[in-house]
Chain A
Amino acid sequence: MTAAPDARLFDLGYRSYDGPREPPERALATLAEFTARRVLGLGRGGRHKVLPAITLAIAFLPALASVLFSVIAEDIGVDELISYGEYTFFIGSALALFTSLLAPEALCPDRRSGMLGLYLAGPLDRTRYLAAKGAAVVGVMLLITIGPLLFMFAAFVLAGHGPSLGDAPLLLVRIVASGIATALLYAALSMAVSSFTTRRAAAAVATVLLLAVPASVVRSAIESADAPNALDLLSFPFVAAELSYRIFGEMPDHDSPVTKLSTPVVAAGLAAAVALGFLVCWLRYRRLESFR
């Protein structure tokens, strides 16, 4: 048997690599994408997809119901549909579910499995590592906080309930601003809690307590002991919901201490919580023993 004169040998096996290499910043994007996919259960077994699917379903359900209602009931008024401003309040359970059960997946397993040491042995430092993880958590949260509103916006426009052409850009800016503010708050809280434990279950319980306990304690204190309303800034879910109302220029249909605060105070309270959450996480990781 004679070989063809132009025969070549492919698949030479392992050999030195002299091809292109990405810049160091690429490691952040790689880690952020990898983390976001893991949080959403992509590329993982079926059981890892259940919770993300439930969370997204809860987040999109009010928008879907509102759109269907507007299409089916022809004589419905816009004020009878779920407003953009109150949407954050409506999806509180989806946000809590994501923050407590899914977001810890971004940080906890890396320390538990030793991956943190392998990451930091590459072209990352702790700050870049946390930046990538934060970007992943915020990015996935934006699916929940912005996704349903954009869907509702598009559907309302198509159904004739949408804003005028002139008002549309401002509404889109408000949707993005509200979504980012809410996503940042919940992501910061989740990352702060996750930085204290390697166990997702412990992080989930602690996150639920962080969302529920301060709110009930400060509200009791305000109602029974005339504590200042500003203490209600520790009611994190209500602060996010209240800021959404303010961003969309709406008034909530319920009365609570946080509604009595000015918009700058509410915004500053949320910004402080975001900064504190990320700072706690960063400080924890700065001291963390990653090498073993």
Chain B
Amino acid sequence: MAERAPTVISARGVVKRYGQTVALAGLDADIGPGITGLLGSNGAGKTTFISLVLGLRSRDGGELTVQGRDPATAGIEVRQRIGYAPEHHDLPAELSATDLVRHLAEMHLLPRRAAIQRANDALWLVGLGEERFRPVATMSTGQRQRVKLAAAIAHDPELVLLDEPTDGLDPVQRTEMLALIRRIGSEFGMHILVSSHHLEEVERICDAVVIVEAGEVVHAATLADVRRGPEGLVVEVDERADELASVLAARGFEVTRDGDVLVLGAAQDAYDAVRDAVADLGVGLRRLEPRGRTLEDVYLGTSA
């Protein structure tokens, strides 16, 4: 993450314990601008970290700054420019969506007239314009997630914390929500920290990822760095992969084999060599592509 702009959240050796249980065991992370995914399994410490960022819990050790301020000592200053959507879906049942979002915008120090206007704008943005006067109690889980997102952005915060924003959504709703988060992060200049345990969500919308396991950061990188991975080619053939591997090795290529899949190390003319070898052997070529990494590769590598 070295090439990214100055950090939005900086954590150094952050420790949080609940009695004998260590929730964060010396967490180090630099979270930069844009959309960052906080990835980890349930119980990894994601929500605890968010609560420390908000200054709602006291840490037991380490240093943490949010936009240059320590939330433990300057919590009110930090929180007034943060938008937060919690994981839970419980919201005041009888309030309408617009009343709830307006009230929370006022609580984040917008003047009343601006809060009313922006609550409506935020609800239109998240796709609840026509439904904004409905009581929250009558809304589906997907709509409640959208209400929480609208409430988190109505006061135009600099940093938005979204805790499992796709929890409880069906695939279509999930896709829409992810597109919405991506749009908010890219069009309106807000930095977003998305907590999730879904790899594909983070991979789809985030600029960077921080992988947390057992209260520690096990990997942090931009998604571009993750995808870049080692150089080389991946070749998959119908049959006789062992013969193809031998031919390519004989021509000086570094080859590793996993079933019908061969991985060639970086070399000039690799594409031509594969083409010629496959043609000479007369085998069917299923796949020929640059070698790369997915977030899943990284995640499984870190959690192995």
Contacts and interface: CB of A to CB of B under 8 A. Distances in A.
Interface of A: 13-17, 19-24, 26-27, 30-31, 34, 43-45, 109, 112-115, 117-125, 290-292
Nearest to A115: B92
Given A30-B107, A123-B79, A16 B188 contact: yes
29 contacts: A13-B121, A14-B122, A14-B188, A15-B188, A16-B156, A17-B110, A17-B114, A17-B156, A21-B109, A21-B111, A22-B110, A23-B109, A26-B109, A27-B107, A45-B94, A112-B90, A113-B93, A117-B86, A119-B107, A121-B84, A121-B86, A123-B76, A123-B80, A125-B75, A125-B76, A291-B51, A291-B54, A291-B86, A292-B88
Size category of the B interface is 35 or more
Interface string B55-90: 011000000000000000001110110101011101
Interface in B105-119: 106-111, 114, 118
B56 A290 contact: yes
Contacts of B106: 30
In the A-B complex, the 3 residue pairs with the closest CB atoms:
A17-B156, A123-B80, A14-B125
Contacts of A45: 94
A115 B124 CA distance: 23
B181 to A, nearest CB: 14
Given A13-B124, A17-B114, A124-B107, A118 B94 contact: no
Interface string B111-138: 1001000100110110000000000000
A14 B82 CA distance: 17
Contacts, number: 105
B111 A22 contact: yes
Given A14-B188, A121-B56, A113 B107 contact: no
Contact of B80 (A112, A117, A122): A122
Nearest to A19: B114
Contact of A113 (B79, B92, B122, B188): B92
A173 B88 CA distance: 49
B104 interface: yes
B103 interface: yes
B230 interface: no
A125 B103 CA distance: 17
B151 interface: yes
A109 B109 contact: no
Nearest to B118: A17
Contacts of B54: 120-121, 291
B92 A21 contact: no
Contact of B86 (A14, A122, A292): A292
Contacts of B77: 24, 123
A108 to B, nearest CB: 12
A122 B104 contact: yes
A195 to B, nearest CB: 18
A35 to B, nearest CB: 11
B168 interface: no
A13 B121 CA distance: 5
A24 B106 CA distance: 11
Identify which of A19, A20, A119, A290 gathers the most chain B CB atoms within 10 Å of its CB. A19
Contacts of A119: 107
